[in-house]
Structure 1
């Protein structure tokens, strides 16, 4: 059985993406690691080269500046990276530049890949998610944050990234998936208020196709207000080993009152039901469990 990893990245240093940690977190699971690097303004390529791991295969790409709506350029680049995965791989493990897989999940991932390798009905493996916010001490616990997503797909090039590459489809059809019984920790919202806003402004040109909307956002304050949340809770677990140095180096403080909940009446009711039963009702699922 062969598992290939793949990812895309652009301006990792400028935007403080934990791309090295993301790659390191799945290297023990994969046999090769495709890294597709966009046209950067920083030394992202040198950063990846400095990792010095023989599994890593670096490729270069130029992001289409005309793709300015809904983050579709991320899907285009993800599809490019997937096509670079070796044809003899059974599975392809996608990791985004701000996602990290805890080492405690490695055994379960390998077991799921072995278990479903020859079951061609299974097109992907579903991961559980934790989304960190503001600092490494808080996680989102509302319906705003997706709680599952597909991160391992069969090496079938009919599968493509969907919308902004949050998940995958075959055409418009959702993938048939089984649980990986594993976690992904998402750190995309953990930055200083200034760094967070800088990343958002850098990404805005791939999301806002209207020049007026883009210019308005670019002229907004240079500091992000982390108090714009609906519901958070304290993180009481351990961060992945590859993240611990980064966690220890955190220099900013964000004071968040997590006792406050900001819900509509409908979402307040659904939040209560989820916490009571563990079931998330009426949520969008970008996959089909079989």
Structure 2
């Protein structure tokens, strides 16, 4: 079995991504890692190459600055990397996501387990979405609880955005992939980067969504969705916390809920009553 990892990056240092930590964690699972690096205003390309691992293959790209439709430029860059993967499986990890070193064997074993079963087209991870500081995780319908991150590399799939895949079956309308659970989480750190880096990220990427950038303030959130994290962070990301992350968080007690947050509170009550996860899923479970 050969496993390809892939991702895309641009201005990773400028925007405060733990992308070097992300890539090194991906190397713990993959036989090759394809990285589409967009023309940047910082040292992203040089830092990726400086990892010095022969399994990393860099593809230099130029982003379409006129593509402003719902972040589709991310899908384009994601697919440039995926189309250059040569493994049986293709493992997509974003630049602010990290694999725990204790889960590497389990992830590889899940791919081995389902390799000979063509019904399983993708593998799905649970998620830890850290918010405000590394000690808190966000849990509400606003934060996807599971997502497919590994796709079988022998099927016709494409990405309408950075988050999920569509499988084209018999030239008919696309569908979400049939999937199995990996049984471990991905650690998502995009919302613990420094406030300065977060606002620079919003300023730069808003144009790809045709949005007017708005300043982001971490404490402006429904604090009831934040829960203490009692687990152990991946070892590789812990030095990054000291240099690039917000370490202390206090919610604004005067914060007024948005209509969307009020709706999510109601939805969580219904979920608790029914014992069901009512959030949107970009996959269909077909195996354990």
Q: Normalized against structure 1, the TM-score is what?
A: 0.88
When residues 100 and 261 of structure 1 are mapped into structure 2, their CA distance, relative to the original with a 3 A threshold, is farther
Query: Where in structure 2 are there 5+ consecutive unaligned residues?
Result: 169-173
Q: CA deviation at 1:195?
A: 1.8
In structure 2, the partner of 1:29 is 29
- Specify whether residues 225 and 139 from structure 1 end up closer, same or farther in structure 2 by C-alpha distance, changes over 3 A only: same
Structure 1 residue aligned with 2:71: 71
Partner of 2:232: helix, strand, or coil? coil
Name the structure 1 match of 2:156: 158
Question: What pairs with 1:194-209 in structure 2 (closer than 5 Å)?
Answer: 194-208=196-210
Residue 219 of structure 2 is aligned with which of 207, 221, 227?
227
- SS of 1:285's partner is coil
Alignment of 1:1-290 (within 5 A): 1-86=1-86, 89-156=87-154, 158-162=156-160, 164-171=161-168, 172-208=174-210, 214=212, 217=213, 221=215, 224-230=216-222, 231-249=225-243, 250=245, 253-256=248-251, 262=257, 266-274=263-271, 279-281=276-278, 283-290=279-286
Q: How far did 1:143 drift? A: 1.0
Q: Distance in 1 between matches of 2:251 and 2:3?
A: 40
Q: Is the contact made by 2:192 and 2:246 (CA closer than 8 Å) also made in structure 1? A: no
Q: Show CA shifts across 1:205-224 (max 9, x none).
A: 1111xxxx53xx3xx55xx2
Q: How far off is 1:96 after superposition?
A: 0.5
User: 1:269, CA displacement in angstroms?
Assistant: 3.7
What TM-score, normalized by structure 2, do the two folds share? 0.89
> In the superposition, relative to structure 1, how do residues 264 and 93 fare at CA in structure 2: closer, same or farther (>3 Å)?
closer
Distance 1:112 1:261, change over 3 A: farther
Determine if contact 2:114/2:120 at 8 Å carries over to the other structure: yes
Range with greater deviation from structure 2 (118-127 or 151-160): 151-160
| Residues in 1 aligned to 2:17 and 2:207: alpha-carbon distance in whole angstroms | 18
Q: 1:69 to 1:102 in 2, by over 3 A?
A: same
Question: Runs (4+) of structure 1 moved beyond 6 Å?
Answer: none
Q: CA RMSD in A?
A: 2.2
Q: Using the alignment, how far apart are the partners of 1:289 and 1:70 within structure 2?
A: 27
Q: Distance in 1 between matches of 2:40 and 2:263?
A: 43
> In the alignment, is the contact (CA less than 8 A) between 1:270 and 1:280 conserved in 2?
no
| 1:42-82 deviations in Å (ceiling 9; x for gaps) | 11110001111111111111111111121110001111101
Q: Retained in 1: the 8 A contact 2:221–2:251?
A: no
Asked if the contact 1:105–1:181 (Cα under 8 Å) also holds between the matched residues in 2, the reply is: no
Are residues 123 and 261 of structure 1, via their aligned partners in 2, closer, same or farther at CA, if it must alter by over 3 Å? farther
CA shift, 1:256, in A, is 2.3
The whole-number CA distance in structure 2 between the counterparts of 1:160 and 1:135 is 34
Q: 2:246 and 2:226 mapped to 1: Cα distance?
A: 21
Q: Is the 8 A contact 2:220 2:251 kept in 1?
A: no
